[in-house]
A and B are shown apart, each in its own frame.
Chain A
Amino acid sequence: MNHTKQKRLDFAIAGLQRRWGSHVIVPARQVQPEQRVISTGFPELDRVLGGGIPLSAITLISGQTTSGKLTLTYKILRRAQQSATTSRSPRVNSVAILDLSASGDPDYVARCGIDLDHLLLVRPRAGKQAIDILGDLVRSRQLGAILLDGLPDLRTDPAAARYFDHLLPQLCLFLKATGCALIILDELQPPWLQWLTGIRSNAIQHCAALQIELRREHWIESKGELRGYQAEAHILKSQRTRPGQVARIAIEFNATVRARDTW
């Protein structure tokens, strides 16, 4: 841009700012992008994800059993509760868990740091009911994050799975409007099982803004005792950062029931 054009532009901007206020035109380099993410609690994973998992969108976390899906998600829920707390207002966000498999353990949830007073646990009886409740919870605008635990359980009912696929675009719009984060936990299934159940829809993968696959890498041992395990988080899809990146997370647990500050 030559000098004359730049001068004209500066004059035009100054005129507009004089008339409508200085806030109407702001140089792009001065605009701070709004932090619309929830930290995962694992710095390396946060770095790979560009800050954390996105709010107002669906995050799909998949992986095999004991790959660390639930622990990672509980840590995210804890951060979601804390995200509303500021120095001036000690408000805690409420979060909800749709426990389709009815296997949620409050003791473990509490040890992951989640405030149980601000946690709503829902145990729907049927898949379709779960989806309706999920819609209601999102529309309520009172929750910071919702965890849908048990996508395989939902898939056992083909009608419910189809209903969910059908409602997903609508759900995405509601999430965008309400600022709530929806985390869906999925278990990796062999292709032959998908063929057997007849559900080969990729609607969730399509609608998810972030897709993480967790793979357990190795156990962490110390003095002959199992202390935890290390897992790899593969970013399969991300709208904020480059997909294909890998982050390593170490999930430590106490072999005894009485866990101390390990979480």
Chain B
Amino acid sequence: MSVLSCRVPDFLIGLAQRQKPQWRGQPLALLGADERISAISPEARQSGVALQMSARQAQMRCPEVILAPLDHTACQAEQSAFVGTLAECGLPVQVQTWGAAYVDLREVASTARDAQPICAEMGKQIRRLLGEPFAPALGWDTGKFTARAASSCARPGHMRLVERSDEERFLNPLSIMLLPLPEPAVLQLKWLGITTLGQFARLPTTAVWQRFGKAGKLAQRWALGRDDRPVIPTAQAAPTSIAVDFDPPMALHSQVLEATFAALRPELSRLADRLQGLRHLQLDLRFVEGSTRVIDCAFVEPMSEEKHLRAMVSHQLQILEWAAELETLRVTLLEIGELVPHQLTLFEIDEARSSLKELARKLSNRNGELFFQARLTDERHALPERRAVFDALSARSVNV
């Protein structure tokens, strides 16, 4: 295996800021079709705004946040162009998320030395396509997860190639947050004091399986650098379809929703075990009088959590004009993608930052640069005011 992970950081935010340059450097959050936060700028993230929050929650965390609807069509066009550019070489490309994709380099490069010029050329093409502010971060390895971790560690405009022999040394100190584990599992790991991939990899496999299930076992394999998932081109993935027949026909929204998710639940569970989620869902509704309706639910990030999917589908069913009672509902899982870690995490672990600095940083965003930490410089100086200095704990100084 030889996989390149190409990631454009803050792709959706970058596109929005390209349209409106006055939003650059401002806390910005984009709202998806389900009226939840789908993308956030680093400035908004610093203020505590997280994905899947409602607009009101985001405003409570950061009153200055700019809320804008996500232009799904424009973003989709840019995403297609991005994937098209990667696919120009004729290599299999699998979409990971917005502005991120895997490229299978098995046929052209098997070592880091071979992959380097190809990766560099692809990076240049992406930059030419999207413009100067969009600098892709590239990661290469023999497995998908390590390649993705490498691209997450690489700075925009840089690449990180991990040799097979260096995999363990590379993965061990990385944060556990890179694994797309569900939120309860991440919290449990935090309580257990497991913060790095190395610590997670060293846990007994049976214990991990017992506590975190199949998803945990798979995640542990990834943490060990054993990821043998092939790169499957997005176009080749066959959609799964589930039909739900209502006999007698139904018109109650809650019952339809319940029956739909009862049929969909095993599939969602299977996806969650593989650390995958739904990116595009299609509902075909057939009413008793013969008419049909099609509902398209496209998610900004892949989702496998039922509560989020239920909220989206419920919203779509509520705004639909029901012609008559429902006879048949066909659910088609059009696109399935790999779960994105930051979607499921509530917090970011950065051991270097103390909680006090983190607190000062959050409050600085709201109140200004009023927070200081004192430091003694010359304890023996004759003048008291010269013995210590105040270091401003502003957002800018801490985040360097």
Contact = CB atoms under 8 A, between A and B. Distances in A.
A110 B388 contact: yes
Contacts of A217: none
A122 interface: yes
Interface in B368-400: 368, 370-376, 379-380, 382, 384-385, 387-390, 393
B130 interface: no
B61 to A, nearest CB: 12
A121 B374 contact: yes
Nearest to B357: A120
Contacts of A104: 374
A24 interface: no
A107 interface: yes
Interface stretch (B67-75, B115-123, B215-223, B359-367): B359-367
Contacts of B379: 107, 110
A116 interface: yes
Contacts of B366: 136
A61 to B, nearest CB: 22
B235 interface: no
B370 A258 contact: no
The CB with the most chain A CB atoms within 10 A, among B371, B374, B376, B390, is that of B374
A43 interface: no
Interface in A117-131: 117-125, 129
B355 interface: yes
B319 interface: no
Contacts of A119: 373-374
B192 interface: no
Contacts of A37: none
B390 to A, nearest CB: 7
B356 A116 contact: no
B367 A133 contact: yes
A109 interface: yes
Nearest to B371: A122
A57 to B, nearest CB: 22
Given A107-B379, A116-B374, A129 B359 contact: no
A56 to B, nearest CB: 19
Interface string A126-147: 0001001100110010110000
B169 to A, nearest CB: 30
A247 to B, nearest CB: 30
B375 A116 contact: yes
Contacts of A142: 355-356, 359
Interface in A134-162: 136-137, 140, 142-143
A95 to B, nearest CB: 9
B356 A121 contact: no
B285 to A, nearest CB: 46
A86 B90 CA distance: 62
B46 to A, nearest CB: 15
B188 to A, nearest CB: 20
A121 B371 contact: yes
Contact of A105 (B360, B370, B384, B389): B384
A120 B360 CA distance: 8
Given A120-B360, A258-B380, A94 B355 contact: yes
A142 B376 CA distance: 24
B76 to A, nearest CB: 40
Contacts of B359: 94, 120, 137, 140, 142-143
Contacts of A120: 356, 359-360, 371-373, 393
A65 B167 CA distance: 64
Contacts of B354: 117
A133 B374 contact: no
A94 B353 CA distance: 14
Given A106-B388, A132-B367, A123 B373 contact: no
B144 to A, nearest CB: 38
Given A106-B376, A116-B375, A123 B356 contact: no
A147 to B, nearest CB: 14
A26 interface: no
The CB with the most chain B CB atoms within 10 A, among A104, A109, A124, A140, is that of A140
A107 B363 contact: no
Contacts of B382: 257
Contacts of A106: 374-376, 387-390
B193 to A, nearest CB: 12
Contacts of A136: 363, 366-367
A123 B374 contact: no
B388 A121 contact: no
B190 to A, nearest CB: 16
Contacts of A94: 355-356, 359
Nearest to A110: B376
A143 B363 CA distance: 14
B201 to A, nearest CB: 26
A117 B354 CA distance: 10
A109 B390 CA distance: 13
7 contacts: A109-B374, A116-B375, A119-B373, A121-B390, A122-B371, A143-B359, A257-B382
Given A107-B387, A125-B368, 17 more contacts: A106-B376, A107-B379, A107-B384, A107-B388, A116-B376, A117-B373, A121-B372, A121-B374, A122-B370, A123-B372, A132-B367, A133-B367, A133-B370, A137-B359, A137-B363, A142-B356, A143-B359
